[in-house]
Structure 1
Amino acid sequence: MALNGVKVVEMMGLAPGPLCGSLLADFGASVTVVQKINPTPFDVMSNGKRMLSVNLKTKEGVNVVKKLCSTSDVLLDTFRPGVMEKLGLGPEALMKENPRLVYARLTGYGQNGFYKNKAGHDINYVAMSGILSLLSKNKQPPTPPLNLLSDFAGGGVLCALGIVLALFERTKSNKGQVIDTSMTEGAAYVGKWLFKSRELPIWSGEPGTNVLDGGFACYQTYKTKDGKFMAVGALEPQFYSELLKGLQLSEEEYIQGDNNEYCKEKFQEIFLKKTQEEWCKIFEQLDACVTPVLNVEEVDKHKFRASDTSFHRDENERIVPEPVPKLSRTPGISSGRKPLPVPGQHTIDILHELGYTKAQIDKLIESEHVYAIRKSNL
């Protein structure tokens, strides 16, 4: 795979950090997760990674991480600014020992922002990015977009991009560098087109009244007879014409962009007369940009996705998306196909690889500087 041979150390954090590590693992990187002795119970992203349980409150535990980083390519720091420095694991210390280390920092507000020491979640970061102000309708309070924009798109994905960019640059300079990924700035950057397009006529009205934010009848979701939904994205005239053909409506009466509320009400009325499957059969024959809204629990089994290779089921029958983008020579292989490791599962193996003797490993375990689920048989 493309990142084969790249060694990543991931300091376990919440969702965006594990996603970043998972993306790298999906494309071949060897990712070691440094957990606390009492790890988070919310870990669902460590498939395909190795688990090292360390007591970061002891000098001996910190030294294990230092030694691990001395032979690694990437460190993913998911703590608040200053925490790693207090542990003696800041970039200055680690990069002095390993100048080729790519030190990636992933935080809510960045290392130098006004709120850098403030706690926050996706809703706060996307709010501070300016993007949340656009996710409103009928002058109601903005709706949080799950935790997709800041945590995952602006955080995990952009941090992974930064790591790959730094690794590429390292091939020329032979030097590592520090990456500062702010989820707030990341959400804004993902929305770069939204910032640059403010003067276009598609944004002439209040949030929720425009073409792309639910204001137009031709770009909307509609409920079906069986309580499911269809998504309509018939923006261009040729697609809108096909939409009306499927709904058996007159183009003279339902003019695109004219009297949107009237059109919406009529579209709602008609979509409620048939099931989602019936509408799928109708629009399967028409190029109208009309698709079913697939349920996240069934997206891999829908008959219109039967030949798709976008998902697989893990050992617990949970749906897992396959790696994207798809590379022709070195495609990724989903780490989600592997079982979720347990805390301390790989501690002894990793310590042995770092050069610790059996006696040293036993002492680290007995002194609770590290945690392992089995005794060394070395």
Structure 2
Amino acid sequence: MPLKSVRVLDLSRLLPGPYCTMLLADFGAEVIKVEEPSKGDYARAYEPKLDDDSAMFHSLNRNKKSVCLDLKSPEGKHEFLKMAEEADVVVESFRPGVMERLGLGYETLKSVNPRLIYCAVTGYGQTGPYADKPGHDINYLSFAGLLNLMGEKDGKPVVPAAQIADIGGGALPAAVGILLALLEREKSGKGQFVDVSMMDGVISWLQTLLPDYLSANTVPKRGEEMLNGGRACYAVYETKDERFIAVGALEPKFWKNFCEVIGRRDFIPLLEAPLHEQYRLKYEIQVIMSEKTLAEWLELFSDVEACVSPVLTFEEMIEHPQVAAREMIRTVNHAVLGSVKQIGIPIKLSETPGEIYSQAPKLGEHTHELKAGNRT
């Protein structure tokens, strides 16, 4: 596995940091969760639980090990420093300054291991007037200007069901940053500090909206842009049986096919009609879509390239043949729970694929094994 020789000390909790280190662990990195005694990662306590730990914890922390250390005690600090001497990467998600106050900041760890890569995943980054402020996914989306553009034109902003800032703005850039630093270390022999801000990450996602504003002062509006509900060709419609169908017929060839299937060839020239005309189109298409069930529409579109898809439930998604073919829902064996379904690995490498090779650790399960005096 490509990261087999990489040792990661993971001090992060909940979602962003653990998702980042899960990706590394899936490809062979030895990820050691350094957890507070008695409580550990807060995600352990979430509901629903599979055993003593939550289903979410089991998913995010597969392939990892757990060590309990009290980093506020002299003994815990000493043990962590000894572990850092032999580590390649440290990942933490505390607010800036917390690790320094513990006496375990980057400069201290760098002094005992100059090759160490230290990644801090925070809401606002290590610098700037908001660096010390608390926040959650919704706050980073709101500061980045993305939340303002999510939802219907005349409604309030809609909170996304998945954590865009935590994963897309934080965990994924952190994983990329760590891999870049590991690659650069092969040349220089030196580690470095990887500063990841979830708000920065969200701003970097605004590639279809922000460049127009920066270059021409074009102000995007909720529900009026091409990709956020402003066009009839890129929208969600309700069917006769109160299900929903997603239409992404952005290109003229797909729009033409879509219009032909719904029996409205007169709509074909209106792909890029003005906004008021788009509203009329959406209303008329909704009336048409209400005449048939989701299954009936899917049958009509089954052999037509129009970028039309059902809005699936989780129950339907996990049974979908494309999901099965890509192994995005995996059944793994757990020593106590037996067969457990988990989310699969999204990165497919042809020669060194990722694996789910061990279950999430119990709190402190590997403490004795991995303490400095016990390691071989």
Equivalent position SS for 2:132: coil
342, 347, 359: which one pairs with 2:367? 347
Distance in 2 (CA, whole Å) between partners of 1:243 and 1:200 is 34
Determine the structure 2 residue equivalent to 1:207: 222
CA contact (8 A) 1:219 1:235 kept: yes
Which residues in structure 2 correspond to 1:1-378 (within 5 Å)?
A: 1-37=1-37, 38-39=39-40, 40=42, 41-42=45-46, 43-44=57-58, 45-198=60-213, 206-251=221-266, 255-258=270-273, 259-303=277-321, 305-314=323-332, 320-333=342-355, 335=356, 338-351=358-371, 354-356=372-374
**Which amino acid counterpart does residue 25 of structure 2 have in structure 1?**
A
Cα RMSD (Å): 2.4
Task: Work out the percentage of aligned pairs sharing the same amino acid.
Answer: 38
Aligned-pair CA distance for 1:30: 0.9
Equivalent position SS for 2:330: strand
Once structures 1 and 2 are overlaid, which stretch shifts more, 134-143 or 29-38? 134-143
Equivalent position SS for 2:265: coil
Aligned-pair CA distance for 1:56: 1.9
Distance in 1 (CA, whole Å) between partners of 2:125 and 2:263 is 53
Aligned-pair CA distance for 1:235: 0.8
Unaligned runs of 5+ in 1: 358-378
Aligned-pair CA distance for 1:72: 0.6
Equivalent position SS for 1:298: helix
CA contact (8 A) 1:155 1:182 kept: yes
CA contact (8 A) 2:256 2:265 kept: no
Distance in 1 (CA, whole Å) between partners of 2:72 and 2:267 is 73
Aligned-pair CA distance for 1:160: 0.6
Once structures 1 and 2 are overlaid, which stretch shifts more, 35-44 or 170-179? 35-44
Equivalent position SS for 1:119: coil
Equivalent position SS for 1:251: helix
Determine the structure 2 residue equivalent to 1:372: none
User: Number of matched residues?
Assistant: 353
Q: Residues 141 and 6 (structure 1 numbering): CA distance in 2 closer, same or farther, change over 3 Å?
A: same
TM-score normalised by the chain length of structure 2: 0.87
Q: Residues 342 and 301 (structure 1 numbering): CA distance in 2 closer, same or farther, change over 3 Å?
A: same
Q: Residues 245 and 253 (structure 1 numbering): CA distance in 2 closer, same or farther, change over 3 Å?
A: closer
Encode CA deviations 1:313-361: one digit per residue, 9 max, x unaligned. Answer: 455777543223311111222x3x643221011111112xx2249xxxx
